[in-house]
Amino acid sequence: MADNAALPDKETPLIDHIVGDALLADFAAGAIGPDWRALLGTQWPLIARRAQLPPDGDWRIWLMLAGRGFGKTRSGAEWVDALARAHAGCRIALIGATIDDVRQVMVEGESGLVRLTRADPPQYSPSLKRILWRNGSLATCYSAAEPESLRGPQQHFAWADEVARWDNAGGRAEAAWDNLMLGLRLGVLPRALATTTPRAVPLVRKLLAHPTVVVTGGATRANAANLSPAFLAAMTASYGESALARQELWGEMVEDVAGSLFSRAMIAAARDDVDVAQCARIVIGVDPPASAHGDACGIIIAARMAGDAARFAVLADASVTGASPEKWARAVADAARDWRADLVVAEANMGGDMVQSVLKIADPAMPVRLVHARRGKSIRAEPVALLYEQGAVRHAADFPMLEDQLCGLLSAGGYAGPGRSPDRADALIWALHALRHGDGVRPRMRRL
């Protein structure tokens, strides 16, 4: 359709408004023949949701901010394929966080360019990092981790995927984007599409602040008809009502709390793969609840990496909620055993000798040291926030509740995060404090 604004709404595919309910039911049940199903699969303007189609107008940059599983990759692939077929001989840039991301997601992924159902598919040459259409249109693959590779090549169009995941170290993500924009100068109306799950990183903030950028998107649930119910259930269970759920599932840009010691950008930059075999020391921080069935017991596993006393990693969040002293002590003991921890550091302000006794009952051999908080939370957290700012801490996975609590710690004192107490954040701070000051250093043998 030439006029996208004519579609009834942004969530419902146009086909739902063209055919009757009976035909839709037959299609869903597989009663329609395979030839018709294949043909319908090629009619993207009919089966796409309004939010997946290009905006109207003479825009230059289209930013699609959406939750995981929204259909961003299919939207990008369909947009590129349509442009390549409509503009013979055009040049297109495909940019991902790494060259592997371009190949595995944008090109060969489930919804990638070469997986689109077309009678005349383009030819992909992995060794040349390019896709060639019969009419001479050419798409070239680039890595945002190598900004200089985008310096020089000229493009008519560009698709940049998961820009919030591009490497932010040393301004590399913004450099890659700037080089791309400087090369986007061919044709009458050169255009770029950036698809990403929203994160408050400098490049995404830069795009949102640009007056000519057109923004669309939506939540994961908008694509529920094409997603596994098990996936939706798992995502809901993992992220719950956290701020990370708003970001990863609802497609919202979660802003920082004013005066917070930790920013979302700092934490986003900290996410990385961690080789546990390279962990020189592992410490478990514990922030016990104030009452027998009170708040959560924060249990965070952290490590100092081998070969560098100033590199740390957050390995796991084993916190438990609503547990009796015996149960949370058992959870600590299990974590210490599973991770072969060198030391367990437990805050004893609220429990005193009880904390020591229940931990020793859970495992008499567990190496435990009690610590007492003599300064406010923000003062204890400041050195840890500095480590994050310096890029010295890595998160081995997403830790939604922990990250929400870190972002609720205020530099002026106090707490503005979820729950009554930053139990997970306190546990992490104790663990990193112990690792920074050499606590938990004792010789041991590791399993190969």
Q: What span, in angstroms and rounded, lies between the C-alpha atoms of 400 and 411?
A: 21
Alpha-helical runs (H) found in 394-438: 400-406, 423-436
Tell me which amino acid residue 448 is: L
Q: What is the CA radius of gyration of the chain?
A: 25
pTM for the predicted model, two decimal places: 0.62
- Spell out the domain ranges in the chain: 48-247, 264-436
pLDDT at residue 202, as a whole number = 84
pLDDT at residue 144, as a whole number = 95
pLDDT at residue 117, as a whole number = 67
Q: What span, in angstroms and rounded, lies between the C-alpha atoms of 83 and 76?
A: 11
Q: Which CATH architecture has domain 264-436?
A: 2-Layer Sandwich (3.30)
Q: What span, in angstroms and rounded, lies between the C-alpha atoms of 312 and 387?
A: 9
Per run of 10 residues, the mean pLDDT along the chain (length 448 residues) is: 42 48 53 52 76 90 89 94 96 96 95 85 95 97 95 96 84 93 95 90 88 87 75 76 70 74 86 91 92 78 88 96 91 96 88 82 92 77 92 91 90 80 93 82 43
pLDDT at residue 136, as a whole number = 97
Q: What span, in angstroms and rounded, lies between the C-alpha atoms of 125 and 90?
A: 17
Q: What pLDDT, in 10s, does the model give residues 31-52? A: 555 554 455 556 788 778 888 8
Q: Which of 428, 185, 198 is nearest to 298 (CA)?
A: 428
At residue 297, φ and ψ (nearest 5 deg) are -95, 110
Tell me which amino acid residue 446 is: R
pLDDT at residue 199, as a whole number = 79
423 with 298: CB under 8 angstroms? yes
CA dihedral 427, 430, 432, 438 (to 10 degrees): -140
Task: Provide the 10 A C-beta neighbour count for residue 57.
Answer: 8
Helix (H) or strand (E) holding 239: helix 229-239
Which residue matches tokens 């922990």? 402
Task: Provide the 10 A C-beta neighbour count for residue 246.
Answer: 18
pLDDT at residue 154, as a whole number = 96
List C-alpha distances in Å: 288 to 149, 350, 375, 433.
51, 8, 17, 17
CA torsion sign for 160, 161, 164, 168 is: negative
Q: What span, in angstroms and rounded, lies between the C-alpha atoms of 445 and 448?
A: 9
Supply the DSSP symbol for 207. Answer: H
Q: What span, in angstroms and rounded, lies between the C-alpha atoms of 436 and 438?
A: 6
pLDDT at residue 308, as a whole number = 74
Sequential DSSP letters for 361-405: HH-TT--EEEE---S-HHHHHHHHHHHHHTT-EEESS--HHHHHH
pLDDT at residue 257, as a whole number = 73
pLDDT at residue 88, as a whole number = 96
Tell me which amino acid residue 388 is: Y
Q: Which CATH architecture has domain 48-247?
A: 3-Layer(aba) Sandwich (3.40)
Q: What span, in angstroms and rounded, lies between the C-alpha atoms of 305 and 269?
A: 18
Q: Which of 192, 233, 264 is nearest to 417 (CA)?
A: 264
